[in-house]
Amino acid sequence: MGADSRFYDIFCRSLASETPAVVVSVNYRLAPEHRCPSQYEDGFDAVKFLDAVINLDGVDLGRCFLAGDSAGGNLAHHVAVRAAESEAALKRVKITGLISIQPFFGGEERTESEMRMVGVPVINMEATDWAWRSFLPEGSDRNHPAANVLRLDVSKVVGFPAATMVVVGGFDPLQDRQRSYHEWLVESGKEGVELLEYPNAVHAFYLMPDLPETPMLLADIRDFIQRHAARPFN
């Protein structure tokens, strides 16, 4: 689904209404026609575009949060790394925090939750394996750093946001990788890392506004932004 799909339009409008923020939803090139790192390039191009825009009335580019869900959570992580590595080139944009909603990470070795959670809604290992084969560079396996982000020493990436919110669903087969991502950030010395668990949530639950967890997530995102903004919002 693209940034202009009905599901994401509803979610982003709800997020903009709930939080003291301007929400920019970004489209990016899709695999298999466009393989990694095309998507990361598109995401970082959006950051550079915002940095270059002359007039954004009422928008404080010094307090930007990158957010992504599922594959977008993977993309947001890699864009945060690129932004940190290119921080000197960004004149106005400062990445204050990262909101990682059920991020889509992988690896060759199956986790316990991936092996146990067979038949759950939305996502399964056959589908995720196909997605990685379509996305990763030709000849790569799931231990490629695009998928297995834990292979990078993020403590050495100066400027990577200290504040990260990691969202995990209790019926998401990828939950073990998401918890490991949270632990990895904590062990890397990143302060302000938070783990939010929704025990009854499936993958992409937030695209179903009638589920009770969806307004809970919106409120949790609002609180996270307010806590970690460089200064209080008016």
Q: What is the pLDDT of residues 93-150, one digit of tens each?
A: 999 999 999 999 999 999 999 999 999 999 999 999 999 999 999 999 999 999 999 9
144 is catalytic: no
Q: How confident is the model at residue 84 (pLDDT cuts 50, 70, 90)?
A: very high
Instruction: Give the Cα separation of 128 and 105 in Å (integer).
Output: 10
Residue showing tokens 């400062």? 94
Q: Tell me the average pLDDT across 147-158.
A: 91
Report yes or no on whether pTM surpasses 0.85.
yes
Residue 192 Cα distances to 73, 111, 161, 166, angstroms: 18, 26, 9, 11
Query: Would residue 203 show up in a list of annotated catalytic residues for this protein?
Result: yes
Degrees, nearest 5: CA angle 60-62-63: 80
Q: Are 180 and 109 in contact (CB under 8 A)?
A: no
Which residues share a beta bridge with 198?
A: 169
**205 or 191: whose pLDDT is higher?**
205
The catalytic residue among 78, 144, 182, 203 is: 203
Q: Among 100, 113, 144, 172, which one carries the catalytic annotation? A: 172
Q: What mean pLDDT is predicted for residues 65-81?
A: 97
The Cα 221–Cα 229 span in angstroms is 12
Catalytic residue among 25, 69, 70, 113: 70
Does 86 qualify as catalytic in the annotation?
no
